[in-house]
């Protein structure tokens, strides 16, 4: 009778523990949700600030913009007209509807082909070769962009640096970035290079494409992000599902991981688990084998619940590298309109859209695209503010009207 009563008590405790674990489910744990949101706010804000500072004081890729304009526009007269009307909100800077569609579809086509090829090789088991590809791609991306940015920075601060010295600095910087982004080195260093790489590519894109082509690219990329993640046969959906089936981490080069606070939680949980195991071993010397087996079963179930909650936290605290690029691209693009109200509204819309995406992700517990809600809401708020709000505020200021 005593063994039956003890087993029933332990089963009741297990049920109560399950109810408690369900009550502490990540879906309803607001504190962890807020930590996740803040951990994603910080790098996006840093990307925006660094990108705006570089764009305002250095403009490293201004020569590329002139070259791109000469290639996109057919004759010199239309190019001069487009330059004079850039970032004024006029449609005169559009090269032509056919050219707009061609450039946008070519950009989208490259993204689709590269993403599909990456997923195909990953599914076929060529993960090691893909990692080598990321090493090379990240090195050349950092090397090309940082050479221009650091060179312009030294010129801005009137620091004399030879070409060889600049090359050596950029090579060392790029090598450190390659190994950091691909999972070697401290987490903070990896996050730093993720941010730097995202800012550099965004600065390159905002100088490479004219005004209305960037708007078209942002809309099409956000739409493609929906298809790639939510469609059952979408490449990003296949990538995530394949990684989950294989119990593998996604490529560090593709994912920004906000694991600073969750790693601390993990270490504390591991200490608690070690202490629990020691207590269980001491109890084994006193309790009989039947009670020990039942306690081990309950402990194992509790550990499974804790591990599942930790895995959910890890999945929810990640953001794709492309998201940083296009968020920063949108901020830099809006900054060129020289309208502070539109810039603030756009940045606020990005953070608000990201927050909505995170809470939707937590509710449905599946991978969701981070771009669509943020980008579409930012575009709507920008055009509403730029064409309606800002002229209204300006008219009120000119007529000394105070509400």
**Tens of each residue's pLDDT in the chain, 403 residues:** 444 344 444 444 444 444 444 444 544 455 666 677 788 889 999 999 999 999 999 888 887 776 777 777 766 777 777 777 778 777 777 777 888 888 899 999 999 999 999 999 989 888 889 889 999 999 999 999 999 999 999 999 989 999 999 999 999 999 999 999 888 888 889 989 999 999 999 999 998 888 888 999 999 999 999 998 888 888 888 988 888 888 887 777 777 765 443 333 344 444 444 455 545 555 554 455 555 555 454 444 444 344 444 444 444 457 788 889 999 999 999 999 988 999 999 999 999 998 888 888 877 777 788 889 999 999 999 998 888 877 777 777 777 777 6
Q: What whole-number distance in Å separates Cα of residue 346 and Cα of residue 330?
A: 8
pLDDT reported for residue 106: 93
The token pair that represents 246 in the structure block: 């294989």
The token pair that represents 300 in the structure block: 């194992």
Distance of CA 300 to the CA centre of its chain: 35
Q: Where are the domains of the chain?
A: 2-316
In the chain, count H helices and then E strands.
16, 2
Please spell the DSSP secondary structure of 36-103, one letter per residue. HHHHHHHHHHHHHHHHHHHHHHT-TTHHHHHHHHHHHSSSHHHHHHHHHTTTSS-GGG---HHHHHHH
Phi, psi of 280, deg, nearest 5: -65, -40
pLDDT reported for residue 127: 86
Q: What residues contact 257, with CB distance under 8 A and at least 6 apart? A: 187, 190, 191, 314, 317, 318
Q: What whole-number distance in Å separates Cα of residue 312 and Cα of residue 308?
A: 6
């Amino acid at each position: 009778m005593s063994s039956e009563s003890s087993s029933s008590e332990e089963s009741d405790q297990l049920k109560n523990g399950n109810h408690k674990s369900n009550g502490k489910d990540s879906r309803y744990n607001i504190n962890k949700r807020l930590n996740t949101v803040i951990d994603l706010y910080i790098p996006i804000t840093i990307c925006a600030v660094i990108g705006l500072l570089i764009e305002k004081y250095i403009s490293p890729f201004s020569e590329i913009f002139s070259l791109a304009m000469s290639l996109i526009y057919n004759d010199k007269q239309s190019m001069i007209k487009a330059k004079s009307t850039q970032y004024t909100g006029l449609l005169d800077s559009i090269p032509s509807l056919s050219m707009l569609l061609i450039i946008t579809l070519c950009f989208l086509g490259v993204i689709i082909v590269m993403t599909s090829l990456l997923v195909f090789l990953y599914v076929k088991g060529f993960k090691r070769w893909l990692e080598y590809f990321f090493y090379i791609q990240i090195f050349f991306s950092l090397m090309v962009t940082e050479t221009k940015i650091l060179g312009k920075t030294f010129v801005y601060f009137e620091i004399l640096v030879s070409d060889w010295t600049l090359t050596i600095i950029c090579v060392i910087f790029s090598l450190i970035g390659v190994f950091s982004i691909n999972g070697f080195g401290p987490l903070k260093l990896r996050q730093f290079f993720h941010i730097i790489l995202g800012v550099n590519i965004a600065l390159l894109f905002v100088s490479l494409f004219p005004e209305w082509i960037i708007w078209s690219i942002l809309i099409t990329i956000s739409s493609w992000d929906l298809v790639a993640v939510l469609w059952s046969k979408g490449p990003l959906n296949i990538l995530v599902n394949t990684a989950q089936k294989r119990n593998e981490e996604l490529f560090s080069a593709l994912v920004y991981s906000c694991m600073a606070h969750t790693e601390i939680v993990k270490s504390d949980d591991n200490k608690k688990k070690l202490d629990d195991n020691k207590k269980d071993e001491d109890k084994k010397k006193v309790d009989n084998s039947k009670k020990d087996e039942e306690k081990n079963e309950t402990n194992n179930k509790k550990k499974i619940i804790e591990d599942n909650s930790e895995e959910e936290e890890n999945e929810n605290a990640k953001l794709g590298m492309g998201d940083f690029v296009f968020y920063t691209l949108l901020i830099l693009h809006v900054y060129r309109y020289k309208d502070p109200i539109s810039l603030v509204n756009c940045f606020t819309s990005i953070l608000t859209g990201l927050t909505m995406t995170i809470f939707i992700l937590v509710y449905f517990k599946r991978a969701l695209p981070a771009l669509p809600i943020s980008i579409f809401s930012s575009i709507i708020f920008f055009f509403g503010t730029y064409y309606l709000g800002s002229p209204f505020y300006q008219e009120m200021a000119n007529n000394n009207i105070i509400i």
